[in-house]
């Protein structure tokens, strides 16, 4: 279990200068960048091609893939990629394979017209989501393996740097996407989004070059532990055949971590934890899914969105992620979670003011900056929270499971965001108020179970 200990400001920030943190930063960026492709870029591409808000919202269902990536996590742990595993390592081999699939998908998007073949566009987007969700499993494992188990301060700092990296990949990728699309559109290219996707492919190639500088240690301990666990389960069967081997494999890799989680926390508290994780960021997801459509509808250009929402947002996110990590370390994760929920709800209300006031660059900048502060703080607190909940025996699987449940809440429920705006007849102010209210159920659950959570914050 990761222990987050109180320490001085200088001690906390000094650990960020460990050279391993730069590698973790890159790994975070690799995870965050694909969300630009199937998030804001795809949404704006479809909207500018004449598709409705509801269609754009429902297209976001492809994000649901992230909610289930834990199901095939055992395959990634066990299956070695031919040629790549030998040449660059097991973890990096999987990441590079998924990056290749994303590159192929971007090329396919560059030759498709969504108004003529929407189904194919969404299918390619689904392929990107599957590849991205799959690489996230490996990225998280490789990130954790950069730091030894007994380095508590470095592990906490690594969590913050991973968040900074994720937002860097997401925000800076968004800047490149929006500026490229705007520039190509102004030059008169009708297929400016298709050309933009080719430009984004170059960024993926550069990330893969950087990945080669991330160390990967060769260890057989994981395989040995898997075999020992399988042998214990197999011993309960009288015969050994294909069916019993299959049951043994599934039980050892999936049911074991789940049983451990419920046994450790108790059935009711475990359900409370799962409910909180599922609901905590639903309001933010509703806002995030429709935000770029809202910006466009009230009159902001793609360049405006790139400057205020992406560039300024990224700078704010980096600063307040590091400060948020410091707050979690010094004040405790539960206090941080409650404060994060209140901040998310409060900053969503700023978008209501922007909606009612009309186009205002000052209000736009204020709303985006404060929303990014809240998002950065909430993400660091959330990562620390679920890290403290996992059983050390099943850290990777339980972390993936909890993270996936959180993603499920954000993706499945928020897919109706466009339909909600349409139902409100385009009343964006009321929409953002509703997104603020959505955080309340999760905070009520956390308040009820707060004293019964088995977490170590020393």
In a domain, 237, yes or no: no
Q: What is the pLDDT of residues 6-48, one digit of tens each?
A: 456 666 677 777 888 889 889 999 988 888 888 778 788 887 7
**Strand segments (E) across 51-154:** none
**234 — pLDDT class (breaks 50, 70, 90):** low
| pLDDT value of position 104 | 93
Q: Helices marked H in 255-310 — which ranges? A: 256-265, 267-279, 282-297, 302-305
Q: How many domains does the chain have?
A: 1
In a domain, 234, yes or no: no
Q: Which residue has the higher pLDDT, 169 or 10?
A: 169
Find the CATH number of the domain harbouring 195: 1.20.1250.20
**Residues near 337 by beta carbon (within 8 Å), at least 6 away in sequence:** 280, 381, 382, 385, 446
| pLDDT value of position 227 | 64
Section 296-324 average pLDDT = 75
Of 51-65, 390-404, 442-456, minimum mean pLDDT range:
390-404
In a domain, 227, yes or no: no
In a domain, 289, yes or no: yes
**Strand segments (E) across 47-137:** none
**147 — pLDDT class (breaks 50, 70, 90):** confident
In a domain, 424, yes or no: yes
In a domain, 225, yes or no: no
In a domain, 36, yes or no: yes
Whole-number Cα distances in Å, 286 to 36, 57, 177, 236, 404: 16, 9, 22, 48, 17
| pLDDT value of position 7 | 53
**Strand segments (E) across 262-409:** none
CB 170 within 8 A of CB 309: no
CB 251 within 8 A of CB 395: no
pLDDT averaged over every residue in the chain: 79
Q: What is the pLDDT of residues 49-106, one digit of tens each?
A: 777 777 777 777 787 787 777 778 777 777 788 888 888 888 899 999 999 999 999 8
Q: Which domain holds residue 95?
A: 9-214+248-452
What HEC string does the chain produce?
A: CCCCCCCCHHHHHHHHHCHHHHHHHHHHHHHHHHHHHHHHHHHHHHHHCCCCHHHHHHHHHHHHHHHHHHHHHHHHHHCCCCCHHHHHCHHHHHHHHHHHHHHHHHHHHCCCCCCCCHHHHHHHHHHHHHHHHHHHHHHHHHHHHCCCCCCHHHHHHHHHHHHHHHHHHHHHHHHHHHHHHHHHHHCCCCCHHHHHHHHHHHHHHHHHHHHCCCCCCCCCHHHHHHHHHHHHHHCCCCCCCHHHHHHHHHHHHHHHHHHHHHHHHCHHHHHHHHHHHHHCCHHHHHHHHHHHHHHHHCCCCHHHHHHHHHHHHHHHHHHHHHHHHHHHHHHCHHHHHHHHHHHHHHHHHHHHHHHHHCCCHHHHHHHHHHHHHHHHHHHHHHHHHHHHHCCHHHHHHHHHHHHHHHHHHHHHHHHHHHHHHHHCCCCHHHHHHHHHHCCHHHHHHHHHHHHHCCCCCC
Section 413-422 average pLDDT = 80
Q: Which residue has the higher pLDDT, 413 or 225?
A: 413
Assess whether pLDDT exceeds 60 at residue 4. Answer: no
Section 378-398 average pLDDT = 73
Which of 61-75, 280-294, 364-378, 432-446 is modeled with the greatest confidence?
432-446
Assess whether pLDDT exceeds 50 at residue 5. Answer: no
Section 216-239 average pLDDT = 65
In a domain, 14, yes or no: yes
């Amino acid at each position: 279990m990761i222990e987050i200990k109180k320490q001085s400001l200088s001690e906390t920030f000094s650990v960020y200068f460990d050279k391993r943190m730069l590698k973790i930063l890159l790994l975070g960026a690799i995870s965050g960048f694909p969300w630009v492709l199937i998030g804001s870029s795809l949404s704006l591409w479809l909207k500018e091609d004449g598709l409705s808000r509801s269609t754009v919202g429902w297209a976001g269902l492809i994000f649901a893939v992230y909610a289930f990536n834990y199901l095939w996590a055992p395959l990634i742990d066990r299956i070695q990629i031919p040629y790549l595993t030998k040449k660059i390592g097991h973890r990096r081999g999987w990441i590079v394979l998924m990056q290749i699939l994303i590159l192929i998908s971007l090329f396919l998007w560059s030759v498709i017209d969504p108004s003529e073949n929407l189904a194919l566009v969404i299918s390619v987007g689904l392929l990107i989501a599957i590849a991205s969700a799959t690489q996230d499993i490996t990225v998280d494992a490789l990130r954790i393996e950069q730091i030894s188990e007994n380095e508590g301060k470095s592990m906490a700092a690594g969590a913050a740097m991973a968040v900074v990296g994720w937002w860097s990949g997401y925000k800076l990728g968004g800047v490149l996407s929006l500026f490229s699309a705007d520039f190509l559109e102004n030059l008169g290219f009708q297929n400016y989004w298709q050309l933009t996707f080719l430009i984004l492919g170059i960024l993926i190639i550069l990330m893969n070059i950087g990945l080669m500088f991330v160390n990967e240690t060769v260890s057989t301990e994981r395989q040995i532990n898997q075999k020992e666990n399988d042998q214990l389960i197999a011993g309960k069967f009288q015969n050994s055949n294909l069916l019993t081997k299959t049951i043994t494999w599934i039980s050892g890799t999936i049911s074991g971590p789940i049983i451990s989680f419920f046994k450790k926390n108790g059935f009711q508290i475990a359900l409370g934890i799962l409910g909180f994780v599922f609901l905590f960021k639903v309001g933010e997801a509703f806002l995030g899914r429709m935000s770029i459509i809202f910006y466009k509808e009230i009159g902001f250009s793609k360049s405006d969105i790139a400057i205020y929402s992406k560039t300024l947002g990224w700078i704010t996110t980096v600063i307040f992620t590091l400060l948020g990590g410091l707050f979690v370390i010094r004040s405790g994760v539960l206090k941080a979670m409650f404060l994060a929920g209140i901040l998310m709800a409060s900053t969503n209300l700023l978008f209501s003011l922007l909606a009612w006031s009309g186009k205002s660059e000052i209000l736009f900048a204020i709303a985006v900056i404060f929303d990014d502060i809240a998002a950065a703080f909430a993400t660091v607190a959330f990562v620390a929270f679920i890290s403290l909940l996992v059983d050390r025996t099943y850290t990777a699987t339980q972390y993936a499971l909890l993270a996936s449940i959180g993603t499920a809440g954000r993706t499945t429920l928020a897919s109706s965001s466009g339909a909600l705006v349409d139902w409100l007849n385009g009343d964006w102010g009321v929409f953002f108020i509703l997104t603020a209210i959505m955080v309340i159920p999760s905070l009520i659950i956390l308040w009820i179970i707060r004293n019964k959570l088995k977490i170590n914050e020393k």
